[in-house]
Structure 1
Amino acid sequence: MTRPGATGAGGVTASTHDLAGSADAGAFLARLVRLEPGAPVRLRPAGAPGRVALWARLPWQVLVVRTVAGGPVDGTPDDVTVAAAELLAELERGGTTLPTRRDAQWRWPLPPARSRPVEVLPAAELRRIADAAAGTLRTASQEGVAGRAVGQRALRDALLDHVAVVVTPDGSPAAPVEVPQRLVQGLVRMGFLGAAAGPVAGADEPTVQVRVAGRWVGLVGPYGAAWLQKATDLALTPLGTHPNG
């Protein structure tokens, strides 16, 4: 997703980011930077012509991805990581220069490209779950738990680890699929459900797919997806090159 660009100072040719969907990319990056100001963002071909996948990792160990318009004009695949804040600033000023590559900052594997759906959930139900968790956190922070004060971080981690949804696939011998609050929060806080709206007669309610890819569980919403790998499968990845996937 980089190609030769304008020649800069010293005769060095700059690369361009080739993000045609700058509004969609900007919305993704703005939310990401609010949650994690120093986050890197990984730009990869999305598997379809003219599409780029933006990957990032949230502070609570969830990977999020949004696919936007863009890609190299010559069709040459590329895979780069840059600072999300720098790319957002470039988009906001209408520039096309790719920020300094920071490939070594990406240290996490990605879920497999192939996944299978196991359930469809109403977007409104996931909003309700996310709102209930936020309310619980506020109440516990102010009043404690069973009359005892509990640290904000301990409360947050306990809520994020809570299994919000359990899916048992129909007619399948597979084990139930657990969807933790971490995934729900990732989907909601990145805006992947779109704007909440009141009921409209005849309108279809947005839905979210629960998908499984190997040991990964994902929530795929109208505007992006959140993925989580089981903790027992997490492993350190050597720096210097992107992991496979």
Structure 2
Amino acid sequence: MTGGAGPAVGHGLSGVADAGAFLARLVRLDRGALVRLRPVPDAGRTALWARLPWEVLVVRTVAGSAPGDVTVAAAELLGELEAGGSALPRRRDDGWRWALPPAASRAVEALPADEVRRIATAAAGTLREAVAHGVGGRAVGQRMVRDALLDHVAVVVTPDDAPDAPVEVSQRLVQGLVRMGFLGPGDVQVRVAGRWVGLVGPYGATWSRKVAELALRPTVGRPKG
């Protein structure tokens, strides 16, 4: 084994504007966020994955092939792109601890983008009103109201092929789609992939476990460890 540093590894992204827009919004929401780069097989593109502070995953696919499945600090990669550099920041693969949804998914509904935006705007107005004037005459903290709003089921979709299995879209997904700038012209798809529900817009997608999967379950009778 010889000493010295090996050759620098490049990030491989050519869609710098798209990647930069994704990273800039992500860093504004969470300065310490990680971003996971996963090349899309045989497509010359890379999926950028990240987790928002309110526990949803977001993804945007950009041009260029990353050097494998790697995780780096979003702020460091953004800085490299803004400086016109091509180096991959220090890898932080051990910091990524979240499962990803399956690659295969199916569409169950299409929602007008204006309706999704309206839902997000209404929730933001409710938060401001509750913090300013309380709920039922009682003062409440902003965090308490925010968490309650995020847990709220904003849309319920009944698939034609599974009328007894409604798909619940939480406000967490809606806020992620809007705050990350994934809305655009056209509809937003509600998609299901195994135990995951996603909202897919023109510029990216948000994913979360199904609402029922997030409910706390008793662990009686289960060994620890």
Would you call these one fold, judging by a TM-score over 0.5?
A: yes
1:214 correspondence with 2:208 = no
After TM superposition, give the deviation of residue 49 of structure 1 in Å: 1.8
Q: CA deviation at 1:232?
A: 6.2
Residue type of the alignment partner of 1:190: M
* Identity in percent: 74
Deviation at 1:193, TM superposition (A): 0.5
Rounded Cα–Cα distance in structure 2 between residues aligned with 1:232 and 1:179 = 11
Aligned-pair distance for 1:32?
Answer: 0.2
Q: Which one of 156, 163, 173 corresponds to residue 183 of structure 1?
A: 173
Q: Is the 8 A contact 2:56 2:207 kept in 1?
A: yes
TM-score, scaled to structure 1 = 0.83
Instruction: After TM superposition, list the pairs within 5 Å mapping 1:187-202 onto structure 2.
Output: 187-194=177-184
Query: Which residue of the partner structure matches residue 54 of structure 1?
Result: 48
Specify the alignment match of 2:69 in structure 1: 79
Write the mapping of 1:11-160 to structure 2, written as runs, cut at 5 A. 11-71=5-65, 78-160=68-150
Give the distance between the partners of 2:37 and 2:78, measured in 1 at CA: 13
Which letter does structure 1 place at the counterpart of 2:22? F
One-letter code of the match for 1:177? Answer: V
CA RMSD of aligned residues (A): 1.6
| 1:169 shift after superposition | 1.0
In structure 2, what is the equivalent of residue 163 of structure 1? 153
Which ranges in structure 1 are unaligned for 5 or more consecutive residues?
1-9, 195-204, 235-245
Structure 2 Cα separation of the partners of residues 11 and 29 of structure 1:
28
SS of residue matched to 1:78: coil
Report the CA distance between 1:206 and its aligned residue.
1.3
State the Cα distance separating 1:46 from its structure 2 match.
2.1
Size of the aligned set, in residue pairs, is 212
* TM-score (structure 2 length as normaliser): 0.90
- CA offset at residue 173 of structure 1? 3.9
Q: 5+ residue gaps in structure 2?
A: 215-225
Runs (4+) of structure 1 exceeding 3 A deviation are 230-234
Residue identity opposite 1:124 in structure 2: D
Query: Which secondary structure state, in structure 2, belongs to the residue aligned with residue 217 of structure 1?
Result: strand
Q: Return closer, same or farther for 1:11/1:61 CA change in 2, 3 Å cut-off.
A: closer
Query: Which 10-residue stretch deviates more, 225-234 or 49-58?
Result: 225-234
CA shift at 1:174, angstroms?
4.3
